[in-house]
Each structure stands twice: as C-alpha cells, then as structure tokens.
Amino acid sequence: MQTTFPRLMLTHAAERPTAPALREKEYGIWQTTTWSDLARLVQSVACGLHQAGLQRGEHLIVVGSNRPRLYATMLAAQSLGAIPVPLYQDAAAAECVFPITNAEVRFAVVEDQEQVDKMLEVREQCPQLTHIFYDDPRGLRKYIEDGLGSLEELIAAGGVFAQQHPQFFSEEVAKAQYTDVAAMFFTSGTTGNPKGVVHTHSSLIDRADAGAEFDKLTSAEDVLAYMPPAWIGQNIFSYAQWLVCGYVVNCPESAATVTIDLKEIGPTYYFAPPRVFEGMLTSVMIRMEDAGSFKRKLFHYFMGVAKKVGPALMDGQSVGLKDRLSYALGNLMVYGPLRNNMGFSRVRVAYTAGEAIGPDLFTFFRSIGVNIKQLYGSTETAVFVCLQPDNEARADTVGVPCKGVEIKVADNGEIMVKSPGLLKGYYKNQKATDEVLTADGWYHTSDAGFIDSHGHLKIIDRVKDVGRIQGGANDGAMFAPKYVENKLKFFPHIKEVVAYGDQREKVCVMINIDFDAVGNWAERRNLPYAGYTDLAQKPEVYQLVKECVEKVNADLAEDSMLAGSQVSRFLILHKELDADDGELTRTNKVRRGFIADKYKPLVDGLYEGRTEQFIETVVKFEDGRTGSVSATLKISDAKTFTPVKAAA
Amino acid sequence: MTKKIGDVILDVSNISLRFGGVKALTDISFNVREHEVRAIIGPNGAGKSSMLNCINGVYQPQEGSITFRGQKFDHMNSRQVAEMGIARTFQNLALFKGMSVIDNIMTGRNLRIKSNLFMQALRLGPAQREEEEHREFVEHIIDFLEIQAFRKTPVGQLPYGLQKRVDLGRALAMEPQVLLLDEPMAGMNMEEKQDMCRFILDVNDEFGSTIVLIEHDMGVVMDISDRVVVLDYGKKIGDGTPEEVRNNEEVISAYLGTSH
C-alpha cells in the first residue's frame, strides 16, 4: 500500500466518521473517540506542534502508556513529517539520555507528572530538550519550568490555528511520501547503547497489512493495548494494524485494572508475551486450588478431557463422537466460563511472541479453545516474518514465512530474512547497519535455527550465544544457553534462569524462583519463610528446583544436538533479577555477560565445586535509592543422564 | 512551588475538656489558615484525638470556643459540623467493611443528596439523575486516589494501606473546606507512607482543602506541614513552623525526656 499513516487515518475518518477508533476507560466509563473526533484531535495537535516550532524531519519523543492523546500525538507528528520516537515509560531518566541526545530531540510529549519529572531531570544533560508537553495535569499545576506546557493548551491553540488556516493540515499530510521515515524505535540491546531502528511508512504498513491478511483481520476487531507503545509489538498491533484495518483500540484505565478491562472488552485479537499468559494460568491454578473440592474435581476432570481433545479440535482434526460430546459438556461447564473470566470469550486470534512459550502453557490455552499462535519477528523486521496458520500451531516452532518474506539459513546456522518490512537502517550508525544488512538486501537476524520438515521455522538460540563445551565428559558438545534457560523457565516455580557453559567443561545455572508460585507452594506445605531471600534458600525449595533441573536433563539427554547441555550444578539467587539493576533488558531478557561479572563469586563457586558461597550485591530501589543485599547461597549438584543416541 | 495561604478560617480559643476529673485538654488555643497543612503532634495521651473530636463536634468542650469562618460553634453535633464543611478520617478506620469501595465513598456524599428516601427507593428520574452526578464525583475521587482496580471490591478485603485511602476518599467526597486527618499514616510501611504524603499534598494542591492532621511520625509531619502545634498532657507546649518546633526546648524534652 503506497500510503502513510495520517492518510490512512483520514480515509477512515472520511469513510466511517462515526465508527469508534479508540476507547479509553475513564472515571469508570468507556469513553469513545470516533474516527472523525480523532481526525480533529490530530489536526489540532499537529497545528499546535507546528506553532511550537516542530520541523519536518525532526524527532519527537512520546513517553507514556497507551493513551488516546499520545496516539494522536504520534499521528500529528507524522502528519507534519516529523518522526515520533516512543520511549519506554518505565525507563529510568538516565536511560532516556542516550536516545534524546542521539536523535537531537527538542520535543517531548509525555503522559504525566512522573514522566515530566524524568524529562526535567534529563534536561540537565540534554539542554536541547526545550519543549515538554504533558497529557495528565495532575500534580503539575504548580510547576513553573521553561517550555513546559499541557497538551490541553497545545490542542486549544492548535484548534484556533486550524480554524485560521483550514488548508494547512491537509497540505502538510499531502507532502509526506510512503517512503519517508515514519517512526524510530530504540532496541533495548543486551550490550552497549541502544540503537535507533528507522522504519518508513511503507515498511510498517506493508507488514501490518501482511499480518492482517494472514489472519483475515477486519475493522470489527477489538484490541486492548496495554504493553508499552515503545515496544514494536504493541506499536504494530495497536497502531500500524489499527490504522491499516480501522479496528478499535481500547486503552485500559490503569496498569492495575488490565485484567478487569480485558474482561469488559473481550478483545477479538490479542497479543502478549508469554509471561502474560503464564500469569493468567498461574492465577487460574492458584484460585482452583482454593476452590471447593467438587469444583476442583470438575475442573481437573474436564481439563483432562480438554488436553486430550482440545488441541485436535483446534487443529481441525477429526475427533470421535464421544470425545466431542464430553468436550462440549466441558465447554459449557468449565472452558467457557474460564475463557470469559480471562477475557477470552470473543478472541479469534491470540499471538504470543518475544520469547519461547512453554509447551504446557501453550497447550493449556489451545485446549480450552483459545486460538493462541506464535509468530517470529523483531524490531528490525517490523514484527511479521513468520506466523503460524490457524491449524498448525506448535509450541516449538514459530510458523511459516508470511507474504513477501524470503528466508534462508546461513552456513553458521543463522536465519537470514528478506522482506519489505526491513528497517531502513540504524539511526546515525552506518557501521551497525552494515553489520546486519547485506548489500543485496538480506537481514542478519542473529538467531540460530532451521526450517523443519513441515516448512516451519524453529529457533534455537542467538547465534553468538551458541557455544561449545570445552573439556570434561562432553568436550565439543553444542551449548545453547537460551534453549536450556527456556526449558527451565517453563516450570511455573522458576521465573528466570541464567546458564553458563560456553568454553567450560560443564553447564551450570543460576535460578530465580517465582515468588508467587513458590510462596504459594510453601504456604500449602506449612513451610514458614521470612521473605524472598529466605524462601529461596530453603532446602525444600532446592529439592523442588532440583527435580525441575533433572527433568530438563532427562529431556535434553534425548536431544541429539543438545545432550551435552545438561545442567550439572545450580544455585538459587537471593534476589530477583531486575531491569533497574541492569540485569535484565527492558524487555526482560537476561544479560548473561553482565550477570557473570556482577555475580562472579557465584559463578566461580559453581565451577570450583563449592557447596555454598557468600555474595553481596548493590540493589537499586524504584525511587532511585540504593542499598545492598547479602546472603550465603547454597550450591547444589544435579543428576545428569547419558545421552540417548538418536537413531542415525 | 508557590502556595497561597489565606486568612485564618478555623480558630480554636481556650479550649478545656474534662472527663469527670480527668483533664483531657487544658486551655488550648491555635488557629488554622486557609489552604495550609496544619499538624497536631504530641506523645501518646497528649490529647490529639480529643482535640480533633472537639473540632469535629463529637466532644463538646466545657470551656472555650471554636470559630469557623467567623461562626462560633460551641454546641453543635457532628452532623452540623459536617454540614459546615468539616470532614474527617479516622485513626482506626470506621469503614463499612462489607460494602464496596464505591459505596463507601458514596456515603460521603450523603449530606449532598437532596432527593428523599422514597424517591431513591423508586428510582424516580430526578433521584436517578442525582445519583449519577454523585457517582461521577466519586469516580473523580477514585481516579485521584488511584484505586480504580478496586471499585467493586468489598473494603474488608483490601489491605490496610488501601483502606486508609478509601477512608480519605470518603472524607473528600464531602467536598470539605477543612479536612481533619486522624493519624493517616499509622501502621503503614515506608512506601505506603510516601504514597499517603503525596495524596495529602495533592489534595491540598488540587482540591485546595485546608488540612489538619494528627501524626506520630515526626519525619512525615516536618516534611509536609506548614505549621505544627505540639500538645503534651493536654497542654499546648509549642506552635510554629516545623523548624521552630524542632528547636523548641519544651518539645524536645517532651519527646526525648530531659535530665532533671
């Protein structure tokens, strides 16, 4: 489609002026913005920003959660030919400095007081940030700062300007070409500074369209937008595809009300990283444990039926009449109400992406009739590379290439992609661009994987992370840290794992327990504990985790490629790995190298065969203060298994 | 930050309160100016809550008078005081545990509801419209206090810190001119205290309410109050800005003890 986002918006406004574009729950009521309301709002914001001095080609940052007026701001900036750069709203002030300096940002449009405070702090290092506008005035009434103003006033002023210059807005929109830069996304990056991924209108719109065509999305879809808009996943689902399809995007009241809002809206198209699905399953399971024995028995009986029949039904296979009847009964009594409770009553297509999803989790949702599928993509590819067709969803693959995508596997096992949705380049970083984009248009995904016999792509790990065991019994065996970590993380009691083994003689892991799940488990066993650190070091918890590790080892022993990656020793960390401490990226991926340095005594302890190790670490609290946590951690051995040789 | 503190709106003069032979308050005088945050502090049993109960009309002092916007009220009951625009929260939370957050806060609108019981019971047009208006106001408070996720949760199921917020919400629902807070931060952890402080300051800013609060935590009081009254054994021993009070010999000895 040779068009731009503002033009798409204006088309919807012209064709379906009274259809809802956005809904936001405010003061307990879902308030609707129609397409024509939106067009007016965007026009006012655009005129206001123009008056404030926003130039064509200039970057503007948008910081906040999913709010209609922030969406309108992105559209307004694009209407003027400026480039919106959404930043993560939970990033610390220091993390915003690089993007703001890198893109020479003068304009910031932010959500509330929290973000304003952050911008004012950033401004000490970035004096060029002269214009800050906020959406929610609460607590800001008494702020007197240069260049700080409310979006409300900007919109009012812009409205007046629009009346005086009725042609201005449409002329500006008409100037933009589909090949112009539409937006920039900063990738979190596990090392070094983040990189600004530059996308054009055409790359984003093309991918949004390909995805919409794949799943036959229409303007009748309902979507709930609650992940950070700075994440390209959210941006594609609730911005690019929103404008391409013209469906309704619903903004929750606050982060705390998402589960309630989800139930009220009942989205038809849903997108979330695996941990959100995991949270839902955990809460269902915990509540079932607390239910009366009749309900519990009913639940477990019908979940057994669902597990047997559900996935087959979902895949369109034929199922015996008896099974079909018991599934129908289960649907009436258990699955239907359960779906309703989770807000999945109307869901047609649900995607999970960003991380591998556990097979049990995946099967659970499919078995109760939620059409959950996986997709593969990244910021650089504007998400859609591979998608799973409705009847071919598997937990261990990521689907088939979608429209316009070509895939090949390089000699080192790296997946290479060619697609109309590829990035234009990294902003002001030609070197990095040249590293990932070849001259003939192939993009290096840096993921290692292969295409299986059904034509589905399977991802193993990052290419650079795939290592070799050196010395010991498994000398030279392949080691894929993420593969091992994910296998462990699929257990509900384990939240985060860091695995080491490259250039070493065995694989050792550090584990974070899931405080809710293990805490609940401990309470049910009358096991007293004084907090996270105490719970983590209980011998009973070590035993619990040990069983998980050994199950993974047994599983790995059957894998012809990765049998050497079995875990020999493990320990449970005394604190949760946290993005604020730099241990995780903002998208919750472990930063292995950083953690290895920070917890060096622990890693040494693991490999030197000690049975316990003292560690002291500095932690950063959410308000910016720091403190230290120290503990003596136990280190435990785990049983490994002899590899089952795959039949050659 | 600039804040406009206005004239005196609440004047307490020479209050004495006795329960039989026990002198709870002796000859207390102080005033409260419009838009200020005024704290009453003192050790246990100093008479802080009794003082609040006098202003609130729960107790009637034997001597002295209380003037609110030039109007004296020696012998008013708590309802009449509330009608004048003075609201309060309670130290040990007098919420309706079985009722939802919305309903609890709605009770704070009680004095402002004009339609009678009969009209409400039959859900007649005017009564219904009125209820919607009140509900809207309550929703603004819910938004302000960031408790949207608990709208329909029975208050008894909420953690203590949130119940305190609901209690504050109910007082705010009265649209009070003066808000009396009885130990708003008792029993809270550091984070909850910080949240509460922010809400108190925001109420003061956004609603323009004058706030009189009783508090134990000296750190909190000194941070958020404009002026502080110190009571000890029913007598006033200090009055002034946090800085003045902190350096007052008598206050130091009441809190820390002195060597005689």
B91 to A582, A626, B166: CA distances (angstroms): 41, 33, 13
Predicted confidence (pLDDT) at residue B2 exceeds the cutoff of 50: no
pLDDT of residue B1: 41
Q: Which residues of B touch A29 (CB under 8 A)?
A: 139
Residue type, A149: G
Question: What's the pTM value of the predicted model, to 2 decimals?
Answer: 0.83
Model confidence at A648, in pLDDT bands (50, 70, 90)?
very low
Predicted confidence (pLDDT) at residue A588 exceeds the cutoff of 80: no
Nearest to A254 among B144, B149, B202 (CB): B149
Q: Which residues of B touch A144 (CB under 8 A)?
A: 2
CB atoms A138 and B139 under 8 Å: no
pLDDT of residue B155: 95
pLDDT of residue A585: 81
Please state, rounded to an integer, the average pLDDT across all residues of chain B: 87
Model confidence at A189, in pLDDT bands (50, 70, 90)?
low
Measured CA to CA, the distance from residue A226 to residue A454 in angstroms comes to 34
Q: Which residues of A touch B207 (CB under 8 A)?
A: none
Contact between A92 and A580 under an 8 Å Cβ cutoff? The reply is yes
CB atoms B151 and A28 under 8 Å: yes
Q: What is the mean pLDDT of residues A594-617?
A: 90
A437 to A187, A380, A443, A445, B66: CA distances (angstroms): 16, 10, 5, 9, 79
What values do phi and psi take at B191, rounded to 5? -65, -45
pLDDT of residue A379: 92
Residue whose token pair is 């405080």 = A515
Higher pLDDT, B115 or A258: A258
Nearest-CA neighbor of A356 among A274, A454, A479, A463?
A274
Measured CA to CA, the distance from residue A349 to residue A370 in angstroms comes to 8
CA distance A143 to chain B (A): 7
- Three-state DSSP class for A473? coil
Question: A610-615: long-range contacts at Cβ-Cβ below 8 A with a sequence spacing of 24 or more?
Answer: A610/A635, A611/A635, A613/A571, A615/A574
b/e B31-58 (16+ beta carbons within 10 angstroms → b)? bbbbbbbbbbbbeeebbbbbbbbbbbbe
Highest mean pLDDT of the ranges A135-149, A210-224, A493-507, B20-34: A210-224
The answer to whether A531 contacts chain B (CB < 8 Å) is no
A contact residues 22-41, partner B, Cβ 8 Å cutoff: 26-29
Q: Which residues contact A571 (CB under 8 A, 6 or more apart)?
A: A510, A511, A602, A605, A606, A613, A633, A634, A635, A636
b/e A161-183 (16+ beta carbons within 10 angstroms → b)? bbeeeeebbeebbeebebebbbb
Q: What is the pLDDT of residues A496-516, one digit of tens each?
A: 999 999 889 999 999 999 998
Q: Which residues of B touch A256 (CB under 8 A)?
A: 146, 148-149
Highest mean pLDDT of the ranges A333-337, B212-216, B233-237: A333-337
Model confidence at A618, in pLDDT bands (50, 70, 90)?
confident
pLDDT of residue A486: 87
Burial of A247 (0-12, 13-18, 19+ CB in 10 A): buried
Q: Which of B5, B148, B199, B201 to mutate to test the interface with A (most CBs of A within 10 A)?
A: B148
Residue whose token pair is 């994440």 = A231
pLDDT of residue A10: 97
Q: What is the mean pLDDT of residues B79-105?
A: 89
Contact between B62 and B17 under an 8 Å Cβ cutoff? The reply is yes
B181 to A454, B17, B48, B56, B89: CA distances (angstroms): 68, 20, 11, 11, 5
Model confidence at B259, in pLDDT bands (50, 70, 90)?
low
Q: What is the mean pLDDT of residues A237-260?
A: 94
- The count of C-alpha atoms lying within 13 angstroms of the C-alpha of B220, restricted to the half-sphere facing its C-beta, is 26
Q: Which residues of B touch A264 (CB under 8 A)?
A: none
CB atoms B139 and A28 under 8 Å: yes
Measured CA to CA, the distance from residue A402 to residue B192 in angstroms comes to 50
B19 to B15, B28, B97: CA distances (angstroms): 14, 16, 31
Predicted confidence (pLDDT) at residue A569 exceeds the cutoff of 60: yes
Determine which of A68-77, A453-462, A579-588 has the lowest per-residue pLDDT on average.
A579-588
Nearest C-alpha in B relative to A145: B1
Mapping DSSP onto H, E and C, the string for A356-415 reads: CCCHHHHHHHHHCCCCEEEEECCHHHCCCCEECCCCCCCCCCCCEECCCCEEEECCCCEE
Joined tokens for residue A212: 């919409």
Q: Which residues of B touch A260 (CB under 8 A)?
A: 149
Model confidence at A39, in pLDDT bands (50, 70, 90)?
very high
Joined tokens for residue A18: 């009274």
Measured CA to CA, the distance from residue A252 to residue A261 in angstroms comes to 6
pLDDT of residue B154: 95
Q: Which residues of B touch A138 (CB under 8 A)?
A: 144, 202, 206
The answer to whether A625 contacts chain B (CB < 8 Å) is no
Determine which of A14-18, A132-136, A299-303, B158-162 has the lowest per-residue pLDDT on average.
B158-162
pLDDT of residue A647: 40
Q: Which residues of B touch A254 (CB under 8 A)?
A: 146, 148-149
Measured CA to CA, the distance from residue A110 to residue A98 in angstroms comes to 17
Nearest to A260 among B135, B149, B206 (CB): B149
A574 to A280, A396, A412, A447, A613: CA distances (angstroms): 26, 31, 38, 31, 11
Predicted confidence (pLDDT) at residue B216 exceeds the cutoff of 80: no
Q: What is the pLDDT of residues B35-78, one digit of tens each?
A: 999 999 888 888 888 999 999 888 888 888 899 988 887 677 88
Q: Which residues of B touch A (CB under 8 A)?
A: 1-3, 135-136, 139-140, 142-144, 146, 148-149, 151, 194, 198, 202, 205-206
Q: What is the pLDDT of residues A318-377, one digit of tens each?
A: 888 999 999 999 999 999 999 999 999 999 999 998 778 888 889 999 999 999 999 999
A456 to A16, A141, A371, A398: CA distances (angstroms): 39, 56, 18, 7
Nearest C-alpha in A relative to B202: A139
The proportion of chain A whose per-residue pLDDT surpasses 70, expressed as a percent, equals 98
Nearest C-alpha in B relative to A259: B149
Q: What is the mean pLDDT of residues B109-130?
A: 82
Q: What is the pLDDT of residues A8-24, one digit of tens each?
A: 999 999 999 999 999 99
Measured CA to CA, the distance from residue A130 to residue A315 in angstroms comes to 55
Q: Chain A to chain B, count of Cβ pairs less than 8 Å apart?
A: 38
Predicted confidence (pLDDT) at residue B248 exceeds the cutoff of 90: no
CA distance A412 to chain B (A): 50
CB atoms A254 and B206 under 8 Å: no
Joined tokens for residue A647: 């039949």
Predicted confidence (pLDDT) at residue A646 exceeds the cutoff of 60: no
Partners of residue B33 on adjacent β-strands = B8
Q: What is the mean pLDDT of residues A97-123?
A: 95
Measured CA to CA, the distance from residue A640 to residue A549 in angstroms comes to 9
- Three-state DSSP class for A647? coil
- The count of C-alpha atoms lying within 13 angstroms of the C-alpha of B45, restricted to the half-sphere facing its C-beta, is 4
CB atoms B148 and A253 under 8 Å: yes
The proportion of chain A whose per-residue pLDDT surpasses 90, expressed as a percent, equals 67
Nearest to B136 among A27, A141, A253 (CB): A27
Q: Which residues contact A594 (CB under 8 A, 6 or more apart)?
A: A582, A583
CB atoms B1 and A27 under 8 Å: no
Please state, rounded to an integer, the average pLDDT across all residues of chain A: 91
Joined tokens for residue A111: 């959500």
The answer to whether A260 contacts chain B (CB < 8 Å) is yes
Q: What is the pLDDT of residues A392-436, one digit of tens each?
A: 898 888 999 999 999 999 988 899 999 999 999 999 999 999 999
The answer to whether A139 contacts chain B (CB < 8 Å) is yes
DSSP string, A589-623: -B-HHHHHHHTHHHHHHHHTT-SEEEEEEEEE-TT
What values do phi and psi take at A461, rounded to 5? -170, 180
CB atoms B140 and A256 under 8 Å: no
pLDDT of residue B71: 84
Rg (CA), chain A: 26
Burial of A482 (0-12, 13-18, 19+ CB in 10 A): buried
Q: Which residues of B touch A139 (CB under 8 A)?
A: 198, 202, 205-206
Nearest to B148 among A141, A144, A257 (CB): A257
Burial of B12 (0-12, 13-18, 19+ CB in 10 A): buried
Determine which of A106-110, A488-492, B256-260 has the lowest per-residue pLDDT on average.
B256-260
